[in-house]
């Protein structure tokens, strides 16, 4: 017996990256600035990264050659607007060439307008608590659209605006503005920027109510700016969606984290064209807060439990609360063992298939990440890539997981049976 494939014909099969993690030398960004401060939380600087800035053409051809139909990447605001109000046509032309390369290779470009990094100058005018930030971000989005809008396939405004609240529940960050001056890295940042430490509010590390309001306002203003140039372009934001669970004694905390991190951001996505879901696993809370992975379970390179089935719960939660189409814009595993990654991806794709079979509108599955890259505060240690990179020579080598997922993308044919295809993969 055969079953029709649950994957629609225009379903996007892709891999993702983010500018700062792959391009290299993003020197006008706030993140580069933080990487080089005394007391920095970054274990090493990003440096040349994997030189995607110069090697994008070969990388895009490689991704397409593996069988994918989409590439998600981000545009660096710090390159496009290196000083407030100064826009660089040369940098916009660079991203235009990237978009053209995607089209030449048959990849739908899913473009993120902000993936964690902002221009350094924004940090000096209030960062992601600043009164002008929503408007400044929307102005940048408008410039990007004027220059590149005709080539963009799907637009993502902000990447993981909710992440700082999840990190706070792990005991990372979460300082009040008044306390920032007592944290060496914020004190150093304030001194170099010539501002009061209470105003240092980078996107990834600020979990205040003011920060929440600014991010929602920025998303709305950016959506309006993008739609102003191309009303029919699908626009949404992408969220960090962990499957929030509890063990005895942790129910109250789990409910609170679920509300603060998942539900209020999903509620704010109502009315968007889609919401991007980015799931890596589950987060469990117990009587003493965030509970570590149970003894003996397989873990990823960050010591977290490997739990691909989380994706089914987070897609269903997003569908229930946001009530808009869902796109999996990130999902992946940090491991040196690529067989583990293939198993993880297979289980995750099954979660998507099960949601589709229940009538949930899922538009794509985009794995994190194309190339082994700069994993933020963890530096170059964790390997999330489907393609390995030798950072001495910058040589790229696709892993089995890249071939496996690329074949699945290619083999997908709505006229054939999904079971037959799965059996042959
Ligand atoms: C981010 C990526 C990051 C990935 C793996 C997400 O939080 O969007 O930039 O590398 O997860 O940690």
Which residue's CA is the nearest one to ligand 1's atom 9?
Answer: 18
Q: 181 alpha carbon to ligand 1 midpoint, in Å?
A: 27
Residue 5: predicted pLDDT: 82
What confidence tens digit (pLDDT) does each residue in 256-282 have? 999 999 999 999 999 999 999 999 999
DSSP 203-215: TTT--SHHHHHHH
d(CA 151, CA 173): 38
**Whether pLDDT at 421 is above 50:** no
What confidence tens digit (pLDDT) does each residue in 285-333 have? 999 999 999 999 999 999 999 999 999 999 999 999 999 999 999 999 9
Say which residues have a Cβ less than 8 Å from residue 319's Cβ, sequence separation at least 6: 326, 355, 360, 361
**Whether pLDDT at 199 is above 90:** yes
What confidence tens digit (pLDDT) does each residue in 328-380 have? 999 999 999 999 999 999 999 999 999 999 999 999 999 999 999 999 999 99
Q: Is residue 375 in a domain?
A: yes
Whichever domain contains 310, its CATH number is 3.20.20.80
**Whether pLDDT at 422 is above 50:** no
**Whether pLDDT at 414 is above 80:** no
> How distant is the alpha carbon of residue 134 from its chain centre?
20
Catalytic: 160? yes
Residue 3: predicted pLDDT: 62
- What atom of ligand 1 comes closest to residue 332's alpha carbon? 5
Angstrom distances, CA of residue 123 to CA of 120, 190, 240, 263, 382 = 5, 9, 23, 28, 28
| Active-site entry in 23, 35, 129, 160 | 160
Q: Is residue 4 in a domain?
A: no
**Whether pLDDT at 419 is above 80:** no
Task: Kindly state the average pLDDT of the residues 167-183.
Answer: 95
Out of 2-16, 43-57, 191-205, 404-418, pick the least confident.
Answer: 404-418
Q: Is residue 2 in a domain?
A: no
Q: Is residue 1 in a domain?
A: no
Q: Is residue 5 in a domain?
A: no
**Whether pLDDT at 399 is above 90:** yes
Say which residues have a Cβ less than 8 Å from residue 308's Cβ, sequence separation at least 6: 281, 331, 333, 343, 344, 345, 347, 348, 351
**Whether pLDDT at 416 is above 90:** no
> How distant is the alpha carbon of residue 145 from its chain centre?
20
Q: Is residue 245 in a domain?
A: yes
d(CA 338, CA 327): 24
Above pLDDT 70, what percent of the chain?
96
**Whether pLDDT at 423 is above 60:** no
Tally of structural domains, the chain: 1
Name the pairing type of β-strands 282-286 and 289-290. Answer: antiparallel
What confidence tens digit (pLDDT) does each residue in 180-198 have? 999 999 999 999 999 999 9
**Whether pLDDT at 132 is above 90:** yes
Within 10 angstroms of residue 58's Cβ, the number of other Cβ atoms is: 13
Mean model confidence pLDDT for the chain: 96
Q: If you compute the radius of gyration of the chain from its CA atoms, what whole number of angstroms results?
A: 20
Q: Is residue 7 in a domain?
A: no
Task: Kindly state the average pLDDT of the residues 141-151.
Answer: 99
Starting from the edge strand earliest in sequence, which strands make up the sheet with 289-290, in order?
Answer: 243-246, 282-286, 289-290
Please choose from 172, 368, 375, 379 the residue to mutate so as to test ligand 1's pocket, defined by most ligand atoms within 8 A of CB: 368
Out of 34-38, 168-172, 186-190, 386-390, pick the least confident.
Answer: 168-172
Whether the model clears a pTM of 0.85, i.e. scores above it, the answer is: yes
Length of the chain measured in residues:
425
Task: Kindly state the average pLDDT of the residues 57-82.
Answer: 98
Where does the pLDDT of residue 250 fall: very low under 50, low under 70, confident under 90, or very high at 90 and above?
A: very high
How many helices (H) does the chain have, and how many strands (E)? 16, 13
Q: 391 alpha carbon to ligand 1 midpoint, in Å?
A: 20
Residue 4: predicted pLDDT: 73
Say which residues have a Cβ less than 8 Å from residue 241's Cβ, sequence separation at least 6: 262, 277, 278, 279, 314, 317, 318
Which residues approach ligand 1 with their CB closer than 6 A? 18, 21, 159-160, 163, 240, 278, 330, 368, 375, 384
**Whether pLDDT at 424 is above 90:** no
Residue 413: predicted pLDDT: 54
**Whether pLDDT at 385 is above 60:** yes
- What atom of ligand 1 comes closest to residue 159's alpha carbon? 8
Task: Kindly state the average pLDDT of the residues 240-250.
Answer: 98
**Whether pLDDT at 418 is above 70:** no
**Whether pLDDT at 150 is above 70:** yes
Q: Is residue 3 in a domain?
A: no
| Domain boundaries, position 278 | 12-424
């Amino acid at each position: 017996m055969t079953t029709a494939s649950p994957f629609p014909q225009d379903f996007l099969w892709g891999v993702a990256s983010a500018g700062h993690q792959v391009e290299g030398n993003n020197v006008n960004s706030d993140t580069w600035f933080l990487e080089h401060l005394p007391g920095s939380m970054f274990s090493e600087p990003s440096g040349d990264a994997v030189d995607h800035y110069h090697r994008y053409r070969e990388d895009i051809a490689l991704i397409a050659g593996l069988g994918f139909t989409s590439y998600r990447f981000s545009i660096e605001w710090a390159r496009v607007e290196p000083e407030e109000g100064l826009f660089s046509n040369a940098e916009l032309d660079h991203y235009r060439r990237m978009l053209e390369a995607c089209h030449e290779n048959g990849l739908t470009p899913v473009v993120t307008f902000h993936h964690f990094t902002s221009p350094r100058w924004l940090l000096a005018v209030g960062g992601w608590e600043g009164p002008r930030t929503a408007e400044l971000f929307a102005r940048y989005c408008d410039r990007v659209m004027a220059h590149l809008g005709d080539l963009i396939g799907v637009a993502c405004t902000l990447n993981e605006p909710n992440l700082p609240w999840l990190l706070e529940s792990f005991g990372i960050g979460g300082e009040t503005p008044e306390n920032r001056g007592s944290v060496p890295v914020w004190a150093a940042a304030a001194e170099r920027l010539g501002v009061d430490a209470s105003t240092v509010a980078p996107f990834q590390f600020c979990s205040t109510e003011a920060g929440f309001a600014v991010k929602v306002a920025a998303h709305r203003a950016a959506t309006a700016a993008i739609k102003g140039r191309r009303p029919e372009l699908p626009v949404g934001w992408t969220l960090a969606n962990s499957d929030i669970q509890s063990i005895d004694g942790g129910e109250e905390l789990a409910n609170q984290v679920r509300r603060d991190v998942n539900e209020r951001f999903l509620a704010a996505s109502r009315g968007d064209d889609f919401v991007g879901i980015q799931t890596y696993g589950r987060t469990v809370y117990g009587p003493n807060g965030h509970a570590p992975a149970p003894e003996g379970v397989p873990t990823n390179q960050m010591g977290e439990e490997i739990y691909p089935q989380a994706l089914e719960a987070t897609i269903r939660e997003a569908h229930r609360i946001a009530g808009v189409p869902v796109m999996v814009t990130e999902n992946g595993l940090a491991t040196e063992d690529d067989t583990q990654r293939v198993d993880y991806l297979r289980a995750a794709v099954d979660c998507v298939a099960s949601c589709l079979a229940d009538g949930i509108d899922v538009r794509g599955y985009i794995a994190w990440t194309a190339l082994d890259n700069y994993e933020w505060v963890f530096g170059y240690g964790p390997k999330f890539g489907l393609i390995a990179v030798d950072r001495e020579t910058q040589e790229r080598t696709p892993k089995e997981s890249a071939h496996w997922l690329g074949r699945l993308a290619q083999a997908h044919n709505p006229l054939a049976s999904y079971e037959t295809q799965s059996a042959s993969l």
